[in-house]
Copies of this chain bind each other. A is one copy, B any other.
Amino acid sequence: MAPTSTAFPAPGSDPAAAESATTGLRERKKQRTREALVDAAHRLFLSQGYAGTTVDEIAAAVDVSQRTFFRYFANKEEAALAVMSDAEDHFIELLRARPAGEPPLPAMREAICATWRDFSASHHPAGRGVTAALELVQLIETTPTLLAAHLRRSADQERRVAEILAAREGVDPAADLRPRLLAAVFGAAVRTAHLAWTAGAAARPAEDDGPEGLIAVIQHHLDQLGPALAADWSDTARGI
């Protein structure tokens, strides 16, 4: 079984049609099973909790054996984090597509915002995507096992990002610390933004106003990176 193809489609395209044209029945079936498993897992995790859901339950919900589940996902976490994983792949693609002259941090900033915009537009119509993302991020942050797995994935992601940055800027990734550092710092800022977003979500109205709320939070965090590193934390030094 080949590894699943990456990311979600660009908005406007029809993924199902494009897929069935290029691939056979076997591949389509596999894709459907995989999506069904992710869906069932997501639903069960949210209603019963992550630890309270057994792999057997997920498999049974899709009418598939437990062994089959583990042929699609290396472990229980992978099923929960599949959507995040797609988003990360999509971010990489968008970052690679940024214009060459753009400085590194702005390039990443644009890529992350576009990632969330594309995310909420695809897969789930009518903005359901952002609500689903919120639920998922909250699930991750409140489940130690999932948080651990997610952070480990993020570390891999940062390695990929560092390589792209080094190539973009034409520096030696072995000698120059800046690519790895910026990738790590960016990852830290985005994760902190996710935390703030999920924490604030309880206070906000429950309606889904698209990805702009989350994007604003991320932008705000990136803006505060400089002030946070500054020696002077008096309010006059902060960009308020």
Contacts and interface: CB of A to CB of B under 8 A. Distances in A.
Contacts of A227: 178
Given A184-B188, A185-B188, A229 B226 contact: yes
Interface in A185-240: 185, 187-189, 191-192, 195-196, 220-221, 224-229, 231-233, 238
Interface stretch (A1-9, A22-30, A52-60, A149-157): A149-157
Given A103-B231, A184-B192, A224 B178 contact: yes
A238 B175 CA distance: 13
Interface size class, chain A: 35 or more
A180 interface: yes
A178 B238 CA distance: 9
Interface of A: 103-106, 144, 147-149, 151-152, 154-155, 169, 171, 177-182, 184-185, 187-189, 191-192, 195-196, 220-221, 224-229, 231-233, 238
19 contacts: A148-B149, A177-B192, A177-B196, A177-B224, A178-B233, A179-B228, A180-B196, A181-B188, A181-B192, A181-B221, A182-B228, A182-B229, A184-B189, A185-B185, A185-B225, A187-B188, A188-B188, A225-B229, A226-B229
